[in-house]
């Protein structure tokens, strides 16, 4: 009986930890060309780069069939969670939004674009979390 209670308590604690982790995930929005123009940059109206908003943005150019993109997704989610309110991560499916991929010269995935108010920088390929976080600090939060 005592062992059953212990096992039940352990399962309960693990369940609470899982729920707490899930509850802290900030949703990463998938953008298409129209929503990109509203939330990031209306390149039809402003031919030169002119950002909407002030928070730094990470654009994840990905494809559903791309293996490295699938491996990168949890790291981007962790970055979004860790820097909640300090930056925004958006996903862009290159097959659904080829105009955006072309605008940023994306020809391989994953391509990660780091945008501040003045410029943007692209990084190609999968990154481990620590490498990705170092890029975030370099592009957005260096003093």
Strand order across the beta sheet in which 111-115 lies: 29-30, 88-93, 57-62, 111-115, 120-124
Selecting among 58, 63, 66, 87, the annotated active-site residue is 66
User: 66 catalytic, yes or no?
Assistant: yes
What token pair was written down for 115?
Answer: 């945008």
Quickly count helices (H) and strands (E) in the chain.
5, 5
Selecting among 69, 94, 112, 136, the annotated active-site residue is 69
User: 11 catalytic, yes or no?
Assistant: no
Is residue 55 within 8 A of residue 88, CB to CB? The reply is yes
Residue 64 gets which letter from DSSP? T
* Residue positions annotated with a catalytic role: 66, 69
């Amino acid at each position: 009986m005592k062992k059953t209670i212990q096992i039940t308590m352990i399962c309960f604690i693990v369940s609470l930890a899982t729920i707490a982790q899930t509850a802290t995930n900030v949703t990463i929005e998938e953008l298409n060309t129209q929503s990109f123009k509203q939330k990031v940059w209306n390149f039809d109206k402003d031919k030169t780069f002119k950002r909407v908003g002030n928070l730094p943005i990470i654009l994840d150019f990905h494809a559903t069939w791309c293996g490295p993109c699938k491996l990168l997704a949890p790291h981007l989610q962790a970055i979004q969670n860790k820097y909640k309110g300090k930056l925004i991560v958006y996903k862009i499916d290159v097959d659904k939004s080829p105009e955006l991929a072309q605008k940023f010269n994306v020809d391989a995935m994953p391509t990660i674009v780091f945008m501040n108010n003045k410029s943007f920088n692209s990084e190609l390929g999968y990154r481990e979390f620590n490498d990705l976080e170092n890029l975030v600090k370099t592009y957005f939060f260096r003093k």
